[in-house]
Amino acid sequence: MISQAIYKDILAEYEKLTDDAKKKIELKKEICYKKCKRIKEIDDELNMTAIKISKAIIYAGKDEKQKYIEDIKNLTESLKKEKESLMAENGFSKNYFDDVYICNKCKDTGFINNKKCECFKQKLINKAYNMSNIAEIIKTENFSKFSLDYYSKQIDKENNMSPYENMKFIIRKCSLFVEEFDDKFKNMVFYGNTGLGKTFLCRCIAKELLDKGKIVLYVTAFNLFSIFENQKFNKDNEEINKEILNLVKEADLFIIDDLGTEFITSLSTTELFDIINSRILERKSTIISTNLSPDEIVKNYSNRIVSRLYGEYDMIKFFGNDIRIIKKLKNKV
Ligand SMILES: [Zn+2]
């Protein structure tokens, strides 16, 4: 079964990640011990704790047992404190060992208390649908990289505003969305022509919220709709599809990129409506980006979807010239 193979692959990946992390920790320890021998002594001592306790349990007399164990615990505590201050004295920060992990939540094991970590679920999705890995993408794309330089300051007659002013306004809206995420339930539709930064902004928001520890699920409409189709017709991936559709409902923020590029069927629009509607009922935010105009949205999707979008979503219009083309032209000069 395909899903079993995918599971196996992912588990193997985690095994490698934890191995790598172990190696990195060993290297970091070496650096640490070189600077301060006492830290090594403490670590060695601490590593003996479990053995000492079991010895005490086996060999100590009934009355002494409790006292022995108490002593060992006290010693362990004081050693830990000593180590902490020695680390600080020698210039090692408290999270000196933290950056060895790609996911600090599960320490690259894929599991937290026997439950799958979000990073595991994201891997599942990526594997099953070859989706672009959001964690990788947003290493390079974030708000600080967003430049307004390519947006024209000339007033656009139809919109009574320059693309530059409009983008400034949109960026402010997006930062506010992130800032108020915990307190305000908001949904947005980014619409307008290609090459105006819609996808980029989606990813910026995703990054900011992932950094805040939120569960963010980012999918392209094309992939989302193939999940719907597979769930119905391809039983091989049943388990994974179920997992993904759960995540779609549970995620703190759900982003559907490029709505309108998918192959629309009546099944898929029903599924899409269910997701949009259940997230509204649960008061969980969703962002949709699309190149379709409002007229085209009305034409392509069911009335039920359209009414939810217009009723519960902020419709945010992007306009101006394709900045990717402008960037290319400028780079040539
Ligand atoms: Zn994780």
pLDDT, tens only, 165-208: 999 999 999 999 999 999 999 999 999 998 898 988 998 898 88
pLDDT at 312 over 50: yes
Question: 56 C-alpha to center of ligand 1: Å?
Answer: 37
Per-residue model confidence (pLDDT) at position 177: 96
Question: 20 C-alpha to center of ligand 1: Å?
Answer: 15
Per-residue model confidence (pLDDT) at position 274: 92
Residues in the chain, overall count: 333
More confident of the two residues 246 and 236: 246
Hey, is 301 helix, strand or coil? Answer: coil
Per-residue model confidence (pLDDT) at position 119: 84
Per-residue model confidence (pLDDT) at position 67: 84
Question: 111 C-alpha to center of ligand 1: Å?
Answer: 7
Question: 256 C-alpha to center of ligand 1: Å?
Answer: 23
Could you read off the pLDDT of 270-308 as tens digits, one per residue?
889 999 999 999 999 999 999 999 999 999 888 999 999
Average the pLDDT over 72-79 and give the result: 92
Per-residue model confidence (pLDDT) at position 1: 41
Could you read off the pLDDT of 102-148 as tens digits, one per residue?
888 899 999 999 888 888 877 777 676 655 456 666 666 677 777 88
Question: 123 C-alpha to center of ligand 1: Å?
Answer: 10
pTM: 0.67
Total Cβ atoms within 10 A of residue 168: 14
Per-residue model confidence (pLDDT) at position 15: 95
More confident of the two residues 87 and 102: 87
Per-residue model confidence (pLDDT) at position 31: 93
Q: What is the DSSP string of 129-181?
A: HT---HHHHHHH--GGG---TTS--SPBTTTTB-HHHHHHHHHHHHHHHHHTT
Question: 188 C-alpha to center of ligand 1: Å?
Answer: 28
Per-residue model confidence (pLDDT) at position 236: 66
Per-residue model confidence (pLDDT) at position 65: 81
Hey, is 289 helix, strand or coil? Answer: strand
Per-residue model confidence (pLDDT) at position 130: 57
Question: 22 C-alpha to center of ligand 1: Å?
Answer: 16
Question: 229 C-alpha to center of ligand 1: Å?
Answer: 28
Question: 255 C-alpha to center of ligand 1: Å?
Answer: 20
Question: 113 C-alpha to center of ligand 1: Å?
Answer: 11
More confident of the two residues 1 and 33: 33
Average the pLDDT over 216-236 and give the result: 79
**SS3 per residue for 35-99:** HCHHHHHHHHHHHCHHHHHHHHHHHCCHHHHHHHHHHHHHHHHHHHHHHHHHHHHCCCCCCCCHH
Question: 58 C-alpha to center of ligand 1: Å?
Answer: 38
Question: 98 C-alpha to center of ligand 1: Å?
Answer: 13
Question: 14 C-alpha to center of ligand 1: Å?
Answer: 10
Per-residue model confidence (pLDDT) at position 2: 47
Question: 174 C-alpha to center of ligand 1: Å?
Answer: 27
| 27: Cα separation from own chain's centroid | 28
pLDDT at 163 over 70: yes
Question: 37 C-alpha to center of ligand 1: Å?
Answer: 33
Q: What is the DSSP string of 167-235?
A: HHHHHHHHHHHHHTTTT----EEEEE-TTSSHHHHHHHHHHHHHHTT--EEEEEHHHHHHHHHHHHH-G
Question: 230 C-alpha to center of ligand 1: Å?
Answer: 26
Question: 10 C-alpha to center of ligand 1: Å?
Answer: 12
Question: 158 C-alpha to center of ligand 1: Å?
Answer: 47
pLDDT at 164 over 90: yes
More confident of the two residues 333 and 311: 311
Residue with tokens 């640490």: 32
Question: 249 C-alpha to center of ligand 1: Å?
Answer: 19
For the chain, list the domains and their CATH numbers: 2-108 (no CATH), 117-332 (3.40.50.300)
Contact 189, 316 (CB under 8 A): yes
Contact 193, 322 (CB under 8 A): yes
Question: 324 C-alpha to center of ligand 1: Å?
Answer: 34
Q: Which range is most confident: 34-43, 135-144, 239-248?
A: 34-43
pLDDT at 150 over 70: yes
Q: How far apart are CA 183 and CA 192, in angstroms?
A: 28
Question: 107 C-alpha to center of ligand 1: Å?
Answer: 6
Question: 119 C-alpha to center of ligand 1: Å?
Answer: 4
| 144: Cα separation from own chain's centroid | 18
Per-residue model confidence (pLDDT) at position 209: 86
Question: 225 C-alpha to center of ligand 1: Å?
Answer: 26
pLDDT at 248 over 50: yes
pLDDT over 70 for what percent of the chain? 90
